[in-house]
Amino acid sequence: MIRIIIKKREKELPYAYSSTIVILVSIFLSLVVLSFFGINPMIALWEAFVLPILTVYGWANILYNGLILLLCGVGLVIAFKAGVWNIGAEGQMLMGAIAATWVSLYLIPKAPSIVMIPSMFIVGFLFGALWGFIAGVLKAKLGVNEVLTTMMLNYIAYQIVYYLVMGPWANPATSYPVSKPFPEQAWLLSVSRPLPVSVPTLILALTIAPLVHLMLFRTKLGYEIRAIGSNPIAARTYGISYAKAVIISMLLSGGLAGLAGVHAVAGSILTPQLRRPEQVSRGFGFVAILVAWLSGIKPLPVIFTSILMGLVFLAGFAIQISFARGIGSTHLFTGVMLLILSIMETYRRYEISVRIHALRRILRWF
Amino acid sequence: MDILTITLFLALAVRMGTPLLLACLGEIYAERSGILNLGIEGTMMLGAAMGFIAAYETQNLLVGFIAAALVGSLLGLLHAIIVIFLRGNQTISGLAITFAGIGLSMLIAHEYVGKVVRGSLPIVPLFSDVPMLSAFFNQNIMVYFAYVASIVMWFVLFHTRIGIEIRATGESPIVAESAGVNVERVRLICAILSGTFAGLGGAYISLIDMRSWTDLLTLSKGWIALALVLVSLWNPLLALFTSYLFGALYAFQVFLRIDINLAKMVPYAATIPVLAIASRLSKRVGVPILGKPYIREEEALHGV
């Protein structure tokens, strides 16, 4: 018989240690699984992880991905700290992308960059925050499970984007489901030249992460959010408002994902325009869940983790392209990584030892 | 609308609702025992893929369903091992299974995209001449399996000792254990069952509803099924009703004369208010405690 013995650790293992193990083990496992589908693991490793960091184009991609994950990830940290399972960063991002398209193509198409770019980010934040707010209010006031509502809101946002790019916002010049290209003042990469990264988003993200850190660990609001997240019943007894903490954390979480959505379209390495939803959000909202957890639900480590996961995400994408296998490998990798993470979360807190009794008996017999 | 259109509409509702019902039934048992399995979507997807491959290669739909049930059970077992024995986080583990299932299904069934499965299931020709009733009863054996399963599962859950053990495990594991229930075993079986039924539901989509393979086939039906568990207040008989109501909502899309992309929004948009109402109601009935691992020594220390 196999017996699993679990003993509580006196001191929890640090996240830096457990997250490194999660990433290494899941890269290894994913390559093993991919090799069953006729993908050479050594070539995949080379093409996916080594080639991108050798070229400017690779770095442009890593930083583009990384900034999306950074903004979404910091947002999710706030929600997870409040004990709210926001699975909806994907939809909140899409709402931000819709906002950017609306502002740049229809609201103020002639405005100069200095007006255009801040307005895109502000409206993007508001649209994303609205999407988070809906799930937050439903959870706080009616006790509706937020995993299900945020997932439903994801699908609704998907359909809205589909509707827009195939209907009212479709580009008449092409039969592809895309919007018209944004006016050039709205291109985040063209205002950042010669750097291969969107400077507005970079500045925004690098200010927001420390701000969120201060908010969570140095203000009354942050204290209330953390209290509600760690023990809602006790926090309520001390007079902390459950509804306030849940709604504000979902507002901020959604808003930050909205900013990521603005960057995803306006900071695109291809032509900035609204595309099919799976080409805009591309599963970033889900990978951001990993980013938040691998960072130990803390805003500052997200800066490092998101860039690293930006490379990993690119790797999944490179494997898709060079082996023509669709988005499957990215999803598989996200799944494997979450699986290892869920086991590691226990291992961080408990010692796990597996005893195989039959084996021992056989060994004793010798 | 004439009688024939209504009958066609109802038949479509049954076709769309049966996978929802199957997935929902298994998850009701899992959640009643205190295990939240968010992996339903991925389990359905992999079940759909494996079922399709098995049925395509053997030209036999029943083999497809059996393969899907087996694969589903394996994913259920994986979730059970992680959350029961390794005390992993139920939400993370469930999401992991969803993504891994979606990814694997796309890789495994890559060469089957666009292929069409042949063969059909035996049909029970009850009320085949009566217009409205034929939509529900002139159906294949998997639909009958779903009907019978929801009645049997309702009876077991509320009128047998096994049912009491499952519910007790979900509501208060420490009390259940002191009454002699093996909490871990009950949860293990229920978690596996949720995978089995999700696998069957997925196969129903690929083998009966669609009959050909495309990527992302189950299209969020797993998430809708998860919402329906709550909406049915964890009651298999109510699930029979709500699943076909949502089946009708899906069928409604086809008859709705608006933009296809807006029509596709209908089930998701409808789920949110329905969930809100159900969450209100569910406070009155006994709700299982979800997402909390059962750690014997810590329960003993801190009490219930």
Where is average pLDDT lowest: A10-14, A56-60, B143-147, B203-207? A10-14
**Taking 90 as the threshold, does the pLDDT of residue A157 lie above it?**
yes
- From the centroid of its chain, how far is CA A114? 28
Residues 200-259 of A with CB under 8 A from B: none
User: Any chain A CB within 8 A of the CB of B239?
Assistant: no
Distance CA A208, CA A155 (A): 28
The total of other beta-carbon atoms located within 10 Å of residue A42's CB is: 9
Structure tokens at B120: 């059909």
Amino acid, single-letter form, for residue A159: Q
Two tokens, residue A149:
């509502």
Task: Determine, for residues B103 and A167 on separate chains, whether the beta-carbon distance falls below 8 Å.
Answer: no
Chain-wide mean pLDDT for chain B? Answer: 89
What is the chain A residue with the closest CA to B101? A332
Q: Which residues of B touch A335 (CB under 8 A)?
A: 42, 96-104
| Bridge partner residues of B70 (DSSP) | none
C-alpha closest to that of B34 among B178, B190, B149, B154: B190
Q: Report chain A residues whose CB lies below 8 A from the CB of B268.
A: 152-153, 155-156, 159
Q: Are strands A350-356 and B123-125 parallel, antiparallel or unpaired?
A: unpaired
Q: Is A102 an 8 Å CB contact of chain B?
A: no
Helix (H) or strand (E) segment spanning residue A182: none
CA-based nearest residue in chain B for residue A152: B268
Confidence (pLDDT) at A201: 96
Residue A286 contacts B, CB cutoff 8 Å: yes
Tell me the pLDDT band of B1, cut-offs 50, 70 and 90: low
DSSP H stretches of helix in chain A: 15-36, 41-45, 56-81, 89-102, 113-142, 146-166, 188-191, 199-218, 220-230, 232-237, 242-266, 277-280, 284-294, 299-323, 328-349, 357-365
Contacts with A149 from chain B: Cβ below 8 Å: 272, 275
Is B262 close to A159, i.e. CB distance below 8 A? yes
> Is A325's Cβ below 8 Å from some Cβ in B?
yes
Residue for token pair 């140095």: A218
Share of chain A above pLDDT 90, in %: 60
| Interface mutation target, options A342, A351, A353, A355, chain B, most CBs of B under 10 Å | A342
Q: Report chain A residues whose CB lies below 8 A from the CB of B281.
A: none
CB contact under 8 A, A152 and B271: yes
Strand A2-8 with A350-356, pairing: antiparallel
Q: What does the alpha-carbon distance between residue B20 and residue B218 come to, in Å, rounded to a whole number?
A: 10
Is residue A320 scored above 80 in pLDDT? no
Q: Which residues of A touch B110 (CB under 8 A)?
A: 37, 325-326, 328
**What is the tens place of the pLDDT at every residue in B180-189?**
999 999 999 9
CA-based nearest distance B78→chain A, Å: 10
Single-letter amino acid code for the residue at A364: R
What DSSP string describes chain B? --HHHHHHHHHHHHHHHHHHHHHHHHHHHHHHTT---TTHHHHHHHHHHHHHHHHHHHT-HHHHHHHHHHHHHHHHHHHHIIIIIS---HHHHHHHHHHHHHHHHHHHGGGGBT-B------EEETTTTSHHHHHHHEEEHHHHHHHHHHHHHHHHHHHSHHHHHHHHHHH-HHHHHHTT--HHHHHHHHHHHHHHHHHHHHHHIIIIII-BB-SS-STTHHHHHHHHHHHTTT-HHHHHHHHHHHHHHHHHHHH--S-HHHHTTHHHHHHHHHHHHHHHHHTTS-----S----HHHHHHH--
pLDDT of residue B291: 66
Q: B81, exposed or middle or buried, with CB in 10 Å at 0-12, 13-18, 19+?
A: middle
A contacts of B38 (beta carbons < 8 Å): 147
Beta strands B123-125 and B138-140 are: antiparallel
- Which pLDDT score, from 0 to 100, does residue A325 have? 63
Q: Chain A contacts of B227, Cβ < 8 Å?
A: 148, 152
Q: Tell which wins on pLDDT, B218 or B62.
A: B62
> Does residue A365 register a pLDDT over 90?
no
The C-alpha atoms of residue B205 and residue A269 are separated, in whole angstroms, by: 38
pLDDT for res A355: 73
User: For testing the chain A interface, which of B38, B87, B228, B242 should be mutated: the one with the most A CBs within 10 Å?
Assistant: B87
Question: Which residue in A14, A180, A11, A212 sits closest to A101, CA to CA?
Answer: A180
Residue A353 three-state SS: strand
CATH number of the domain located at residue range(s) B3-302 in this protein: 1.10.3470
Q: Interior CA angle at B244 toward B239 and B249, to 5°? A: 125
The ipTM, to two decimals, is 0.90
Tokens found for residue A185: 């003042």
Mean pLDDT for all residues in chain A? 90
| Residue of B103, B262, B279 lying closest to A335 (CB–CB) | B103
pLDDT for res B71: 97
Flag if A159 and B99 touch (Cβ within 8 Å): no
Name the A residues in 23-52 with CB < 8 Å from any B CB. Answer: 33-34, 37
B97-149 pLDDT, tens per residue? 999 999 899 888 888 988 998 888 888 887 877 777 888 888 889 999 999 99
pLDDT tens column, A82-136? 999 999 999 999 999 999 999 999 999 999 999 999 999 999 999 999 999 999 9
What are the beta bridge partners of residue B116?
B212
Pairing of strands A2-8, B138-140: unpaired
Instruction: For residues B66-87, give the mean pLDDT.
Output: 94
Cα separation of B235 and A177, whole Å?
43
Residue of B nearest to A353 (CA): B86
**DSSP, residue by residue, A47-82:** IIIIGGGGSHHHHHHHHHHHHHHHHHHHHHHHHHHT
Does the beta carbon of B301 lie under 8 angstroms from any beta carbon of chain A?
no
- Chains A–B, number of C-beta pairs less than 8 Å apart: 152
Asked if residue B56 has pLDDT above 60, the reply is yes
pLDDT given at position B298: 66
pLDDT in tens, A50-88: 888 888 888 999 999 999 999 999 999 999 999 999 999
- Within 8 A of B220 by CB-CB distance, chain A residues are 151, 155
Q: How far is A307 from chain B (nearest CA, A)?
A: 22
Do residues A280 and A265 touch, judged by C-beta distance below 8 A?
Answer: yes
**A153 to chain B: closest CA residue:** B268
* CB nearest to A338's CB, from B95, B110, B220: B95
Helix A146-166 crosses helix B266-282 at what angle (to 10 degrees)?
Answer: 160
Average pLDDT over residues B197-208: 95
pLDDT number for residue B58: 93
Give A309→chain B minimum CA distance, Å.
16
Interface of B with A in 102-121 (CB under 8 A): 102-108, 110
- Amino acid making up residue B60: N
Q: What are phi and psi for residue A6, nearest 5 degrees?
A: -120, 125
CB contact under 8 A, A341 and B92: yes
What does the pLDDT read at residue B147? Answer: 96
Rounded Cα–Cα distance for residues B234 and B158 (Å): 11
Q: Which pLDDT belongs to residue A232?
A: 86
Q: Is residue B300 over pLDDT 60? A: no
CA distance B262 to chain A (A): 7
Residue type, B82: I
Cβ-contact B240, B20 below 8 angstroms: no
